[in-house]
Amino acid sequence: MENTKTEHWNNPPVHREENKKVVAGILAILLGFLGIHKFYLGYTKEGIIQILLNIIFGIGGLIGIIEGIIYLTKTDEDFYQTYQVGQKPWF
């Protein structure tokens, strides 16, 4: 008979990047017009685009609020897979 019992103390958890969902969501809602949440997630080009959209058209803040709500309503795993692993820059 084979022993299939796992000893959890001897199996360290797999290292995984920190989930940035809450911080990114709050930054998007409060400072979305500056694209700060984009820079925080590593989307430099999209952060600059968001700043320009705010300066030229005044819609950068609205986009930030929408994205912040989307970020915060996703599950932790869904956010992580979509925006941190999958690198989806918009909505």
Helix (H, G, I), strand (E, B) or coil at 84: helix
pLDDT along the chain (91 residues), means of 10: 59 67 97 95 95 93 95 95 92 81
Q: Which two tokens stand for residue 18?
A: 């920190």
What's this model's pTM, rounded to 2 decimal places? 0.77
Domain ranges of the chain: 20-85
Would you give the DSSP letter of residue 14?
Answer: P
- Contact, 53 vs 88, CB < 8 A? no
